[in-house]
Structure 1
Amino acid sequence: MNAVAPQGLVVNTGPTPLVLGDRPLEPADVAAVARGRPAVLGEAARHRMRTSREVLERALARGDLIYGVSTGVGAIKTAPIGADGQALFQTLLLRAHSVGHGDPAPAEFVRAAMLVRAAGLAVGVAGVRPELADALCRALDSAVSPHVHQFGSIGQADLSQMAEIGLALTGYGEHGAPLAGDGYRPIALEPREAHAIVNSNAFSVGIACLALERTVRSLRALDVSAAVPLEALVANVDALHPAVVAVRAYPGAVATVQRLRALLADGALLRGERRPRAMQDPLAFKVVPQTHGAVRDALAHCAAQLRVELASSGDSPIMVPDEDRAICAGNHDITPIAIALDYSRLALAQAVTIANERVQKLLDGRFTGLATGLRADPLAPHDSLGVVGHGAASLAAEARLLAQPVTLEQPTSGLAEGIEDRITMAPTGARRLYEMAGLANRLAAVELTCAAQAVDLRATTGELGAGTRTAYRATRRAVPFVAAGEAPRPDLDALECWLASDELP
């Protein structure tokens, strides 16, 4: 956004703020704010929040029993809270729920959580003042983020992480000191507002949005790393014929075939100028459309679920203005997102598994017709790239371990005297998808390293397709050819960075 200074100079005042409440958020909005875009509360949302606040205040004035407002929470839900105890209750609720463990969460995770919580409040049914959403937006303007622990939530509202964010918003102790030191003005909470902060899955949903974006990028990287080996192996590209997906038209498979054909376009293999080495290739080469397509379909489902969640309120209680009362409900249950995250990880594990298998096949002379280990001198005793396969197998194994479903994990019913007998482990699922995507991207870099070596050994660089040629050149900028008598000297970090960038074909 630009402004005009008195002298007529145009001054860049930073990115345009995201206005909350004017339209539903997209996962990409969450990622943008997590990386520094500011956010403000829109006027329509401000009006809705004031209306719901008035409903709450009338209910309190009537003496209505409202969970978490005029009563305690969890196992002490029957304990009343009088007007004179409200201020202390807000503070103690946050402090009591600040039970996190482990390393600090990355700043991006914390910023994403703050935005998601502000967006949920902007729906306008939580019964809190607009000032609470404003406080979250002001905290997002800060150069520092609240200190939040990674662990502590069981996915039935991210109580511990959101409590730490709430303590920072109120300026409490070591939680609030960094924000206050950066110029943030703490907020004094009123009835319902501490509970509204903690009773939210914003931490899980925020990470899920970041994980979705990272996974979409890693799948595009795996598309590229799968396309170059098709040419390196001199594979049978009939598997990419449009007729294949025309007769079995899963949306993700159709999109994958289109993408792979675009990467191979203008190359000798796709044009039919180079005959495939075999009629039947290993499945890891043959079923890329079906496997990557399944990942695309899973990620599309995850994105759809997140869009619903980002447009929603997960609060309980909620205000019903037409009936002028507050009601309790179960919208804090995050099962739809938790299951979508499990689904996405299971799907991504399939793509990671076949990527590793392609690496092993490229290193095996029985499949390539080249020297085992892609040695430049077939008679040399040196490994060349042979041991690279071990690292690839390790990456794939780590990814598959992260893919295990977390939604089946159940505790005893002893939490909160048996009241909280349901969990989803959604934050674990989101964090694991984020980590898996990073492993997938690294594995794509390993696969390209092997594929580029095979292409050079065949001396077919001039036959590469439009997209695969770009990928080959990017690989060679970071990973030199391994000549006879040399050891690999790859800069996989640089190649991995390129694979995660917008430069990818």
Structure 2
Amino acid sequence: MTSLAEPLAAVAAPDEDALVLGDRPLLPTDVVAVARGRRVVLGPAARDRMRLSRTALEKMLSRGDSVYGLNTGVGAIKTTAISADRQAAFQPLLLRAHRVGHGQLAPAEFVRAAMVVRAAGLTVGVAGVRAEVADAYCRALDTDVTPRVHLLGSIGQADLSQLAEIGLALIGHGDDGAALVARGYTPIDLGPREAGAVVNSNAFSVGIACLALERATRAVRALDVAAALSLEGLTGNVDAIHPAVAGVRPHSGAHETIGRLRALLSGGALLTGARPARALQDPLAFKVVPQTHGAARQALAHCAGAVQVELASSGDSPITLIDEDRAISTGNHDIAPVAIALDYARLGLAQAVTIAGERVQKLLDTAFTGLPTGLRADPTTPDDGLAIVANGAASLAGEARLLAQPVTLEQPTSAIAAGIEDRITMAPTAARRLHEMAGLALRLAAVELMCGAQAVDLRGHVGELGDGTRRAHAATRRSVPFVGAGEAPDGDLDTLEDWLAGDDLP
């Protein structure tokens, strides 16, 4: 670690309505809001559930019941008892022992997302920990300091290393703990079982997944906009987005995509038929946008459903069964449903990214557009125009496809914890790659808009654009100028990408 705990860029104002944990299941949108600064507090219903669970677990401890992680070690040390006089020292030692992260530090948003997800999991009321533990996360989130957490270290069987780093800050350990204390935070002293509960969760993976899903959803919408402007630039055949297409093959994602594309083209000469299509059949990258973007939408929806189940659940082991007056070990720390769904989401997004890259190549090729190669303003000059933009687009698409490779097929290991922990899911890698891949998709959409706008301008069709494509063209031209004869592309794609990722998208 090279710096003090990372300050959040913009913390929510104190008078903003806080999210109350425990009154209802947490939603992915809640996680995103807290990650970006919304306040969070522990509700009375959660406190009541946690109090009952803790009381039951303390009775088991006083009776001398053998409960994993309560009065025994964890992992390969599960057969070694923790004596009562060792409990206070054991809790911080467990956190320190699990602090085994590597690589770069995670963005503050990732860490805040993990903290609220872990707190929400505790409010289910089966972990057997005091309400004060969940409350510690809420109080820390209410500061402008975010603990430093390494991106690498978890294999997706509970994000032990990342949650240990957060836990150490919550108990006031090290520079991160000191930074929190300096902001008025009071460290928590952990009791029996509570250090185990701090680390025994996939909250880091799930938190990133919430942020990644939000970014990926925006990316698909951005690719819709880019594809629509490309259709305008190509003078494409809009029969491919006729409502009957989804009617005879009713995949929900295709139906939604066709609705989006038609709305973007609405009022324009292309959709009304006032401007005839150049060809009876367009390249597949233009023709199958409903099918590929639809597949991406359905994959993301499946992933969002799996994440939402996780947010309303407990991944703890052991869990306290109050009615049976005992605690049982579980396998709920295995996050295969979410990890597989994240792999599926990336595979779905890869379809949309791939055809976006191909549309860029086609727009730059005179054989498909009838326009000068490279969308040059003067076809008699040797200038490149936008031709070399194709390289950057291919690079973005290639990087994104590499990130789409499934990670849940990674071979298991039988060596961890004396052979007990013989399975991995790599869920944090799956979530992190979806987040990165969505960023590449947004950038590629900006590149496609630059090319689509150039094609529209060369045809002189700006006044005939649809309602949404007109807005897209104008947004592009605010920061990316037309490339004239003797010029090279020199636009601000960062500004255009920000617009694509924002809330003003048509």
User: Which band: TM-score by shorter chain?
Assistant: over 0.9
Write the distance in 2 (CA, Å) between the matches of 1:166 and 1:317.
19
How far is 1:324 from its partner?
1.0
Write the distance in 2 (CA, Å) between the matches of 1:365 and 1:347.
30
Cα-to-partner distance string for 1:139-181 (whole Å, 9 max, x where unaligned):
0011010111110000000000000001000001223122112
How far is 1:410 from its partner?
2.0
Give the alignment's TM-score, normalised by structure 1: 0.97
Cα-to-partner distance string for 1:169-195 (whole Å, 9 max, x where unaligned):
000122312211222110000001000
How far is 1:40 from its partner?
0.6
Counterpart of 1:170, as a letter, is I
Counterpart of 1:230, as a letter, is L
Cα-to-partner distance string for 1:398-447 (whole Å, 9 max, x where unaligned):
10111110001124201111000011000000000000000000000000
Write the distance in 1 (CA, Å) between the matches of 2:122 and 2:99.
21
How far is 1:65 from its partner?
0.6
Write the distance in 2 (CA, Å) between the matches of 1:279 and 1:24.
51
Q: For 1:181-192, what aligned pairs fall within 5 Å after superposition?
A: 181-192=182-193
Counterpart of 1:156, as a letter, is Q
Aligned to 2:5: none
Give the alignment's TM-score, normalised by structure 2: 0.97
Q: Does 1:126 align with 2:127?
A: yes
The question of whether the paired residues in 1 share the 8 Å contact of 2:413 and 2:423 is answered with no
Q: Does 1:421 align with 2:422?
A: yes
Cα-to-partner distance string for 1:344-376 (whole Å, 9 max, x where unaligned):
001111110000000000000000000000000
How far is 1:13 from its partner?
3.9
Write the distance in 1 (CA, Å) between the matches of 2:15 and 2:304.
28
Cα-to-partner distance string for 1:453-483 (whole Å, 9 max, x where unaligned):
0000000001100000000000000100011
The question of whether the paired residues in 1 share the 8 Å contact of 2:257 and 2:293 is answered with yes
Write the distance in 2 (CA, Å) between the matches of 1:144 and 1:151.
21
Counterpart of 1:397, as a letter, is G
The Cα RMSD (Å) is 0.7
The question of whether the paired residues in 2 share the 8 Å contact of 1:362 and 1:454 is answered with yes
SS in 2 for 1:322: coil
Write the distance in 2 (CA, Å) between the matches of 1:156 and 1:493.
37
Cα-to-partner distance string for 1:106-153 (whole Å, 9 max, x where unaligned):
000000000000000001110000000110000001101011111000
Aligned to 1:3: none
Cα-to-partner distance string for 1:222-272 (whole Å, 9 max, x where unaligned):
000000010110111000001010010001000000000000000101001
Aligned to 2:218: 217
SS in 2 for 1:319: strand
Q: Which runs of 5+ in 2 are unaligned?
A: 1-12
Aligned to 2:365: 364
Cα-to-partner distance string for 1:15-35 (whole Å, 9 max, x where unaligned):
211000101111000000000
Q: Does 1:203 align with 2:171?
A: no
The question of whether the paired residues in 1 share the 8 Å contact of 2:317 and 2:332 is answered with yes
Percentage identity across aligned positions?
Answer: 73
The question of whether the paired residues in 1 share the 8 Å contact of 2:92 and 2:195 is answered with yes
The question of whether the paired residues in 2 share the 8 Å contact of 1:164 and 1:175 is answered with no
Write the distance in 1 (CA, Å) between the matches of 2:244 and 2:385.
40
The question of whether the paired residues in 2 share the 8 Å contact of 1:66 and 1:326 is answered with yes
Counterpart of 1:175, as a letter, is D
Aligned to 1:36: 37
Aligned to 1:279: 280
Aligned to 2:8: none
Aligned to 2:6: none
Aligned to 1:9: none
The question of whether the paired residues in 1 share the 8 Å contact of 2:21 and 2:41 is answered with yes
SS in 1 for 2:41: strand
Cα-to-partner distance string for 1:279-317 (whole Å, 9 max, x where unaligned):
000000000000000000001101111110000000000
How far is 1:103 from its partner?
1.1
Aligned to 1:352: 353
Aligned to 1:390: 391
Aligned to 2:81: 80
**Stretch deviating more after TM superposition (180-189 or 424-433):** 180-189
Write the distance in 2 (CA, Å) between the matches of 1:56 and 1:65.
11
Q: For 1:2-151, what aligned pairs fall within 5 Å after superposition?
A: 13-151=14-152
Aligned to 2:263: 262
Counterpart of 1:89, as a letter, is F
Write the distance in 2 (CA, Å) between the matches of 1:446 and 1:175.
40
SS in 2 for 1:433: helix
Q: Does 1:239 align with 2:261?
A: no
The question of whether the paired residues in 1 share the 8 Å contact of 2:413 and 2:424 is answered with no
Aligned to 1:435: 436
Aligned to 1:194: 195
Write the distance in 2 (CA, Å) between the matches of 1:23 and 1:173.
35
Aligned to 2:178: 177
Counterpart of 1:428, as a letter, is T
Counterpart of 2:420, as a letter, is I
Write the distance in 1 (CA, Å) between the matches of 2:193 and 2:343.
33
SS in 2 for 1:280: coil
SS in 1 for 2:72: coil
Once superposed, which parts of structure 1, at least 4 consecutive aligned residues long, lie more than 2 Å away?
none
Aligned to 1:4: none
Write the distance in 1 (CA, Å) between the matches of 2:38 and 2:389.
40
The number of residue pairs the alignment matches comes to 494
Aligned to 1:407: 408
Counterpart of 1:204, as a letter, is S
Counterpart of 1:41, as a letter, is L
The question of whether the paired residues in 1 share the 8 Å contact of 2:303 and 2:338 is answered with yes
Counterpart of 2:234, as a letter, is L
How far is 1:82 from its partner?
1.0
